[in-house]
Amino acid sequence: MKLYRFVMVLSLFFLSCDQKNKVEKAVEEIPVDIKVERFDKVFFESKPEDLAKVKKQFPFFFPAGNDDNVWLSKMQEPIWREVYSEVQKKYSNFEPVRKEFNTLFQHVKYYFPKVKTPKVITIIGEMDYNTKAIYADSLVIVALELYLGKEHKFYPFPNYLKQNFEERQIMPDVVSSFAYRNIPAYADKDLISQMIFEGKQLYAKDLLLPEFTDAEKMGYTPEQIKWCEENEAYMWRYFIEKEMLYSVDPKLTTRFIVPAPFSKFYLEIDNDSPGRVGAWIGWQVVRSYMKNNSVTLPELLKINAKEIFEKSKYKPKK
């Protein structure tokens, strides 16, 4: 009996690998040629008297109502000139990142054939870590000042934010933005709906970024992923015993869903836990659902959270 089970598991493993190989071969055949425009270079290498030309070339970056002095000031301000200099040191050659975008959007086109191939525009924004990378139909906008490396001198931010200011986080951030635009807002405000909403966008990374690690997809360190894996059953039992899954208490969002230095169980484990563990659990629920149900990625993003939960057959790993 043990030998039979071993053979079955081995057969399923090779079947899964073969299916993945077929998908990746099909993805490689999809023609995608991402174009990149370096707005950051155009802006900071233009003379003040050429501002009108820059505005004409990139009108969407110059909203009505702002005096030209705002832009001229940024163009000449020493601190922003220094930021641009640091961006250029790291991204003078953007070709490696462009190739990653090509691979990403080959995967996007495989799962979402009707999606337009966007143009990528790089900018230097205002150090707003909530808008590091934005997908907007025909455009992807990347704020390069927030991908200089977590130890960069420009970042007076807490570690849980800075750890994602790495070049390797550009693609996961773009996929998050893409997924959020394609997942309907949840009508129910309970914790399980929020967990599965986040789990959907994380599962999108499984398919669109297959070469990335779980830590990179989640924005965790490898140690934080290991902590979640080792404490999965404990966390799930905690949510069940405290009757949190169907609670609409807004405090649960800040405790377990949004970025934070740690999650708030109000127990000794808090100091060791990463933030957003509710999103990580939601990811495991969605993974379990996809393992037990035959649906496409676009279909998954539209399915009601309650249905996903009920049909997931989710059981945390011991």
Cα 165 from chain centroid (whole Å): 12
The sign one gets for the Cα dihedral 286, 131, 84, 50 is positive
Torsion of CA 174, 179, 180, 181, to 10 degrees: 90
Cross-strand bridge partners of residue 119: 139
pLDDT at 15: 52
Name the residue ranges covered by the structural domains of the chain.
36-176, 191-312
The sign one gets for the Cα dihedral 252, 258, 264, 268 is positive
CA atoms of 157 and 161, how far apart (whole Å): 6
Contact 259, 163 (CB under 8 A): no
pLDDT at 220: 98
DSSP-assigned letter for residue 157: S
Q: How far does the chain reach from its first CA to its final CA, in angstroms?
A: 23
* AA letter at 44: F
Question: Which residue has tokens 């309970």?
Answer: 190
Low-confidence ranges of the chain (pLDDT < 70): 1-20
